[in-house]
Every structure is written in C-alpha cells, then in structure tokens.
Amino acid sequence: MDSKFIAFRLHSFCFLLLFSHVTFGELSYSFPEEMKRGSVIGNLAKDLGLETGALSNRRARIDTDGTDKRYCDINLNNGELIVADRIDREGLCEEKASCILRHELVLENPLELHRISLHIQDINDNSPQFKEELINIEIHELAVRGARFVIEEAHDADVGQNSVQQYSLKKNDNFILAANGNTIELVLDKELDREKQQKLNLLLTALDGGSPQRSGTVVIHVTVLDANDNAPVFSQAVYEASLPENSPVDTVVVTVSATDADEGINGNITYEFGHITENVKKMFCIDSKSGEIRVIGAVDYETTTSYEIRVKAKDGLGLSSYAKAIISITDVNDNAPVVNLKSLTNPIPEDTTPGTEVGIINVQDRDSERNRQVRCSIQQGAPFKLVPSIKNYYSLVTTGQLDRELVSDYNITITATDEGSPPLSSSKSVQLSVADINDNPPVFEDQSYSAYVSENNKPGSTLCSVTARDPDWRQNGTVIYSVLPGEVNGAPVSSYVSVNGDTGVIHAVRSFDYEQLRSFKVQVMARDNGSPPLSSNVTVSVFVSDVNDNSPQILYPAPEGNSFMTELVPKAAHGGSLVSKVIAVDADSGQNAWLSYEIVKSTDPGLFTIGVHSGEIRTQRDISESDSMKQNLIVAVKDNGQPSLSATCSMYLLISDNLAEVPELKDISYDEKNSKLTSYLIIALVSVSTFFLTFIIIILGVRFCRRRKPRLLFDGAVAIPSAYLPPNYADVDGTATLRSAYNYDAYLTTGSRSSDFKFVTSYNDNTLPADQTLRKSPSDFADVFGDSDGSPEQKPPNNDWRFTQGQRPGPSGATGGPEVAMGTGPWPQPPTEAEQLQALMAAANEVSEATATLGPGTMGLSTRYSPQFTLQHVPDYRQNVYIPGSTATLTSNPQQQQATAQQATQQALPPPQASAQPEPPKAAQTPASKKKSTKKEKK
C-alpha cells in the first residue's frame, strides 16, 4: 500500500465499568478506497502495546454491528489489520462527505473491547456524468440577449475535490455558459434568428478536480421556436417529508407543485426526477402530472435514514425549473434483539470456582434510540448469571459449585428484550457440558461381604462377587479391583483368594480344609483410573463349611495291625456289666462328627452289646460255662455325614479270671478274616515253586531237542557240529546220567567270544588239558582239537569210570547185570520213570535245604512281614513222596541223603594216583546236586 494514500490516526482511551478487568478503547485508521485484499491498514498489536503472540492467545477477533459486512480482518501471526473485502466508498456512503466504517476488536482473558473506526478516503475513480446524453431545449426566437436557460448539472459519485468542479461550453456564436455552484445556465449572447438557423448543437463538458482529472460531456440540442417566455416556478424550493420505515408500497410521501404563467401548451407542466441514484429509483417514483412522490420499494431505516431527491418541472415548450425533496425515514421497532455468542468455554470443569467467566454474550438491535435499548436475562435454576460488561456485551459467569454427577449438561436460554413499543425479544440456547473431575472414590454396594464355601473346593471356584460404583465418567469411573496384601495363617492372602480386576468376582486359589481353616477375612480394594486415583476398601469374610471328608478315628482300641489289645471279662460278669469301651473321634464338625457304634461281627452275637452313642461294650446276659473263652468283636464306628463314613476295629475279649488259665495267648490273634498275610505268603511260595519246576521242565526239553541238532559253539562266528568233538565226549540226556566214562558238556552263551572258558582236566589222557583256554578266534579252538579228525569213531569208555550198583540212580535195592559189574559191555538202558522221579525229588530236597537255612517258619521270606506269622499250621508237604504203582517211599530227609552220598563216594573212589591228576568228580551226584556243584564252580 502506498504510504501517501494512508493516513493513520489513533485515539485510545480506557475507563472502568462494572469490572476492573474490562477495558475499552478506540482505534482510528484512514485509508483510501479500492485497496486490494490483504493490504495492510495498520498494526493492532503495536498500536495497543501488545506482543505479537498475545492476540492469538487472547482470541482476538473483529466484530461488526448487526449483519454488517466485515471489510477488514486481523493477521494473528503479526498483529496487522488487513483489508478483507473490496471497499467502495461510493457504494458504502454514497454522497456523504465523511465515510466511516465502525468495527469492534474483542480480546479475551481479560475481556477488552476496542472500537475501530475506518475512515474511507475518496479517490477519483468516477467521471462526471450527465443524466442524459442529449439535452433538448426549445428557445423562442424572440428571446432577448441575456436570456438564461437552466441546464441540469452533471453528477460525480466522488466527493470533495474529486467531484465536479467546473464546466466548459464549446465555443459558438449564440450562447455562453454561466455556472454558479450546482446551477448551470446557458446565456443567450446573440439573438437567434429562426429563419437563419432553426437548430443548434452545443457541447457541454463537466470537469472534476481529481488527479488525474476526469470529465463528462453532454450535447445540448437547441431548437429555435416562437416565443415562450415564462418557465415553471415551484411553490417551494425544498420539500421535506417524514416517512416511517416499512411503509407499504404506493404510499404518498410528498407532493410537489409548480406553476407557469404562460397559457396553452406553454403552461402545461410535467414533473420528473432530476439526477438520482439507483437506490432512489428503486425506492420512489413521481407522478408526472400531479407531482406526487410515492413509495415503490421497501423502506428500511436501518439501511438509509434519509433521501434527497431533485425534482424537475418542465412546461410544454421546454422551459424547466428544479426543486429539492428531502425525505426522512423514521425508525419503527421492527428489529428484535439478536443474541450472539462471542466466546464460550465448553466443557466446564466441575471444580470451577463460582464467579468464573465461561462465556461472552453480545446483544445487538438495529433499531435506534429507545428501540435499541435491550435487557438480557437468563432462566432461573441454573448456576449461571449474566453480568453487563461493555456496551452491549455480557459475561456469562458461574454462581455456584458445579457437580457433574448431579447435572452433567446445562441448556441455558438467554432472552433479550428491547424497550420498543411493542417490545420485541429473542432468545438463544447455549448448551454447556460439565467436564468430569475425579472427585468421587468408588463406593461398594455393601459395607461388607460374606462368602460361604464348602471345604475341598476346586481351585479357581467362585466364592462371591463384590461391586463398587463410581459416579465419575470414563476412566475416572472405571473401577479396578484388587486384593490388599495380608496374611492368613502366616501365608500371603494372595495364596488363598484372587479377584478379577474387571468384574470383582473373587475366586479361590487353593482348596480349603475346614479342619485347618474355618474362616478368614480379606480386604478388597476398588480403585478408579483417575489422576490421581481414588480408592476404597471393603472387608470380605470367607466362611468354610464342613464336608464329611474325615472318617472316624478310633483311639481305643488301637486299629488293626498296630498292636494287640485284649480285654479280660470275669466269668462272674452279669448282664449289663461294662466290659470295655470304644473311643473314637471325628475331625469333622456338626452332624458330620456325630458318631454311632455298632457290632458288625462277633463270636457270640447274643453275648455282648455296644452303646449306639457311647461306644460302651456291655454284656447282654450272664456269662455261662458254655461260652467260648475267646470272644472276638468287630466294631464299626459311623458318622452322620452324607455320605456316611466309617471305621472298624477289633476287640479281643477273654472270659477268664486269670491270664494263667489261657494256654496260648498268642493264638488268639489268629482269625480267618485276619489271615490274609499268611495266605499271601503261601501263594508266593507256591508261585515260586511252580516257576522253578516249569524252568526245570523247559531246560530238560531244550536238552532233548539239542541232541538232534548240531550245537554252535559261537553265535554267528564258527559252527562246530558235535561230530567234530573228541570221541570220548558226548552230550548229556535229560536224565543227567553218564553214557561215557567221563563226559563234559560246554554251553557258550551269545558273546562268549569276548570271554574265556576253561575245561576241567580229567583223568583220561585223551581229555582236553585244563590249561587250554577257548578264545575268541575259532582257529584257536581248532588247534586244541587237532586230533579229532583222526578218530571218527568213539572209543570205548575207560573202565575206571564205571558206576557201581549202589552208585547208579534208581529205586532202592536195584541191582545191575554182570556186565555192569564187570565194567564192560554196552551202556545201560535209559533210566526208568522211578529213576527220573528220584532225581526230581533230589532237586526238591535241595530247594528245601536252601529254604531251611533261612530259619523255621519264615519260608525264606523277608523279615518285613510280621513275626507273628508262622507256618505251624501249614502241613509239611516234603515229608514223604509216594510213587504211583510202587510200594516204595521216597524220603527227603537231608541227613539220610547225605549219608547215602558219602557211602557211594567211598565206594566209587579209585586207588590213589599221582598227585599231578586232580581229584575226579563224585560218581554218586544226583542231577540236582550236580547242578548245585556246577553253580558253585561258576561262582
């Protein structure tokens, strides 16, 4: 903006009204019209002495009166007042000499109101204009020199120096121009001669005083006529009228009149408007015959308060005169007050102190004077009031404490009423919300809670639920539950219960035992999510109810298997005598601990009875001689729970006056029902014997099968059939008797290649030396038996290893033939069934010897069994063995068997030989004893 077109003028003043925090001042700026949008008018921040950022922080804004258009705005970044819209002085103020636009600058925190007066300076942007492009004038030829003819002046929308300043008439022979203010006259300088020139064209130019200078022209067409020497004359030079606004159309405002002294056509007067604006043309019209000025548009006082109209009267031959009509518009109370909400703090924190300003209200009425006076009011019952501030501004302040939990929203109606007649009013509703503050802690629905749970409950089961309400909003009203730290029986309370943080449901963490814990208390805290958070606590009492989960415990007599309890009953006891008493307790409580006693089994059912509730055992009748000395009672103790649990005990009674009369006190403990342990031991013994016999049979079967199959000395390495063995070696059949003079049977298990096996040296020179060892390699084994290939046939047995008749197995007293006695001839026949049975019995005797070494009555079992268990009543099945179909009896006496073995050994021993040969094996060994000796050699 060019500085030469701007003049700045600042007037500022401040004063106190109702509140000290409100100030009022005025700023005035002068600048030319038609400035571009965004042009800077002035700097408000600098002129008000404020920092640049203060305008933004204090919500600076431009307010206008009513619905006036806002032509300027504030740049909050730098505080400059800039042009917001096109400003045309002629359009805003028309022909007024002074054109002022009034705006208001509003600042908040604190509230300040500054008036801004914008003085619009005129620029020469309009040229002078005549109403018509051609002016027709009829002048009589008899007009004398110096006659004057009025010409309507030119109009320039600009004002002051930029308006019309002078006129010029193009040089001609007959007329000169006389201008006096707004009156322009053609002066006849030389008489006209119609016969010489009937028509003349004159060029009239209007010039303004602007820079650059502008001009406007009009052509004056002069027609020379006969004489018309009188012009119309108005009755008044100025006509004034008053017109109420909103007057209906066709209302007569004023009537102008003019007279003409001429007669005939020269005296006929017509009326018309002179030069008028477009607004006047739309608002009024004039009757050309009567001179009545009528309303043709909507008259509004708030738009234009007065109109000035130039009226022209013209006779029939063209002579005219002018008058002025001034129409003043009077105000009517036709505008209701308008309530404008300029600023509002929404939502309002509920902790706002009374007297806090929450809004700024502006009330405007476009009427004038008394019609413009406005009263504002607010509805009753709301904690708010309106406080008058500056001019037509009001502050909306609080009058009491706000509580969102009681009222969260306010719908405030503000009513404005003017002082007109009749008064007009309007109202505006303001919606205010109260912002929540975390000012309420959670509140539990109950002061305390009780939970009941049965013992042995499952972990995670629900105990109860606590509920707390928080009237606050959103996160301030969100409740979170937790268990406060504590101890129950020395353990953290968190190991007993837990609470769901969202729902408040309390769960059991463990299974409760009524006998250990009957009740406990837990502190539960409800906390909101506000800042800072608020909380409250409640006590939850947990009661554990009893469940019948404990069987009765018998204290006397002691339970079975722990001790041996015996009561003596005198023989002279009468019926009803107290014999003994069963004492029992139950860890449960209530009816679950109510005990009842009952005899479920007794030696003599009619001899004793027991008290149902006392447990006392009494005689039902007198003791008689026929009663058994030993009385066994089984007593059952039941509780009253659902389902009922019970325990039993045994009571052993002796009907005797003295313990000496009892021959075997220890036998009283024997009872068929209580002999389960003995039965288990017998079953175990039978099972072991059966397994052993089965194993013997399997071994015999395997040996029998191997006689017909080649034997492998190595598993998967070298197969050596029995045909390759030395001739004096042969297999042993199932009876374990020798068919050759001396034979050895070697059994190699899998993996024998990784171990050594030594053969026992015999008395025969053809036997395998004892110092030879079978190694892993089959070639080593072949070297030992290098001579075996040269003896395909078996050599006859050595006579030194012949069995005598007494050494051979078989029934007692069996004798052999002469061949056998002489040690020659074929090998004896296979053993008979009796011989095989005798060998089997020898194995049984060996088992009995092994078990006998463990001590009598124990059957070789572990001492973990009760020492009271004996085999005195178990028959000894080893005493005699009977052979079917034979009168012989095989005995298993170890001493007799040992003597027989020693005798046979002495008979079979040969004469002493060289000390280099080891002692040969005994010839009278039974298969069982052979196995035993073999086991010892292996060990």
Closest CA to 327 of 386, 401, 240, 405: 240
Which tokens belong to 219?
């052509």
**pLDDT at 7 (0 to 100):** 36
SS3 of 42, please? strand
Distance CA 433, CA 440 (A): 18
- The model's pTM is 0.46
160: left (phi over 0), alpha (psi -120 to 50) or beta: left
Distance CA 626, CA 611 (A): 25
Residue 169 sits at the vertex; the CA angle it makes with 164 and 174, to the nearest 5 degrees, is 150
Kindly give the parts of the chain with pLDDT less than 50.
Answer: 1-23, 666, 668-670, 672-673, 711-831, 847-848, 850-939
- How would you label 886-899 residue by residue, b for 16+ Cβ within 10 Å and e otherwise? eeeebebeeeebee
Cross-strand partners of 323: 311
CA atoms within 13 A on the CB side of 936: 5
How far is residue 555 from each of residues 136, 524, 584, measured CA to CA in Å?
A: 150, 44, 5
**pLDDT at 833 (0 to 100):** 52
> Which helix H or strand E contains 349, and what residues bound it?
strand 348-349
How far is residue 68 from each of residues 72, 92, 207, 209, 366, measured CA to CA in Å?
A: 12, 11, 35, 32, 10
SS3 of 195, please? coil
**pLDDT at 426 (0 to 100):** 92
679 secondary structure, DSSP code: H
**pLDDT at 689 (0 to 100):** 92
pLDDT in tens, 295-306: 999 999 988 889
